Amino acid sequence: MRTELTYAATLPANTSTAVLVPGHEHLPEELFSQDEQEYISRQLSLKSTLVAINRFTHQLYLVLTDPKSKETHTQEALRKAGHALHQRLVADKVDSIVLLDGADGEAALYVAEGLVLSNYSFQRYKTEKATPPILKSVTITGIGVSQTQVKELSNLLEAVYNTRDLINTPPNMQTATMLSEQIQEMLNESGVQVEVLDQVQIQSLKMGGLLSVNQASDESATFNILEWKPENATNAQPIILVGKGVVYDTGGLSLKPTPNSMDYMKSDMSGAAAVAGTLSALAKNKVPLYVIGLIPATDNLISGKGFAPGDVITMHSGHTVEVLNTDAEGRLILADALHFAKRYNPSLVIDIATLTGAAARAVGREGIVMMGTADDLTKTDLKLAGEMAHERLVEFPLWEEYQEHLKSDIADLKNIGGAEAGAISAGKFLEFFTNYPWIHLDIAGTAYLLSPDSYRGKHATGSSVRLLYHFLSSQATA
């Protein structure tokens, strides 16, 4: 990965080092001279949480990591400490850092997570004044951490990097076909099998939702099937991840009302990228779980041949949908994929999508909207994984009354409800095409940020990759 994350059994000599301590009493005195200890004490008395000491040949940092009331809060504070450390390392032009947990715990893993994610940069298309990150490598040492843990984290963070790259790629560099090629390249030699269905195959499957959204485009749609099936998988029935792959969304004839928001509609395939990233992390870390990814991909453009409000389309399931808004296109392509998933007899299906502005308005960029029909234990496990990754889930109801919002006068259902409960009626639409335990994640508020937010950075965040990885890893050992 672009920021190398490695493990060392012993502390390398004369190397810039950040010592992590939960309090002054845990300070490893053998690492500091008496004068340095006195300087550190003065700085800590001034409420400093990051103390820097210049030893001329290298830098020495003390990072204070006070425990919080909950373990997951402590872990998030450590990630943010990693972000703060990153800012100081950039200022000091440090290209390599060793993280040492002075309390012999696992704090270095979480600091490294925040540090490495903060060091992400997307400069693929810069030809002048490109400034690649100064920090090249992060090494973790200490008896509380193993080489296996560091390697697992490294593979997971590399998957987040690759997910961010997919999302940040501009639309003229990422048609549906190009996205399929990029995913294949990303998963090359990982052990994940990739099958890409072309336009003719999609037509033969009668995926009317995907085909209708694609009508206005000169570029073909694709339907991507990613399969990770290790020989030692602990589940016979697969868990399926379905990702929305709208590579660019104008809103179609229901043109988006704010033109200045259209430039980041390249991010409308964040769910697809998250599925690919999650499969990559699972495979690289050889998680013994049978997982399938389904990614319907297309753009949603404007053309005289495009689908229009008032159209009635026939879905892959055979049901008819009255289209009242062509900007509610994501649920149409997801519905085809969710019905397609039935052929695998899955134990659980999770869809991930930048689906509704209503979800973003409801919980902001601080959370992910969740709803679904899976049992309470599964939902609880997913919420716990969200707390662990600090990609927190807010569950919305799927009461039967919400189905009334989708009643059509002329078709089986319509593709939008009313102004109220927009995120829920979108979820209710998707539920119509399922008959298995299912969870819907609306990442509209978290997938792409217009201003920096700590280690999540600016623009693509890779939202839900760490969440899904933690959840699925726990399912493999349950």
State the catalytic residues: 256, 331
Distances 374 to 58, 380, 399 between C-alpha atoms, Å: 53, 10, 14
Cα separation, 298 vs 247, whole angstroms: 6
For residues 31-42, b (16+ Cβ closer than 10 Å) or e, as one string? ebeeebeeebee
Rounded CA separation 456/458 (Å): 7
Task: Tell me how far CA of residue 410 lies from CA of 222, 306, 313, 418, in angstroms.
Answer: 30, 21, 11, 17
Query: 3-state DSSP helix/strand/coil percent for the chain, to nearest 5?
Result: 40, 20, 40
List the structure tokens of 267.
Answer: 């991010």
Q: 291 is written with which tokens? A: 């997982």
What 318-321 contacts at long range (C-beta under 8 Å, 24+ apart), as own/partner pairs, is 318/206, 319/412, 319/413, 319/432, 319/433, 320/411, 320/412, 321/208, 321/209, 321/408, 321/411, 321/412, 321/413, 321/414, 321/415
Please tell me whether residue 278 adopts helix, strand or coil conformation: helix
**Cβ contacts of 47 within 8 Å, gap of 6 or more:** none
Closest CA to 279 of 361, 362, 188: 188
Q: What is the 3-state secondary structure (H, E, C) of 104-148?
A: CCCHHHHHHHHHHHHCCCCCCCCCCCCCCCCCCEEEEECCCCCHH
DSSP code at position 391: -
CA torsion, ordered 147, 151, 157, 160, to nearest 10 deg: -160
Strands 17-21 and 96-101, sheet pairing: parallel
In whole angstroms, what is the distance from residue 333 CA to residue 338 CA? 9
What CA–CA distance (Å, rounded) separates 362 from 353? 16
**Distance in angstroms (rounded) separating the CA atoms of residues 448 and 246:** 14
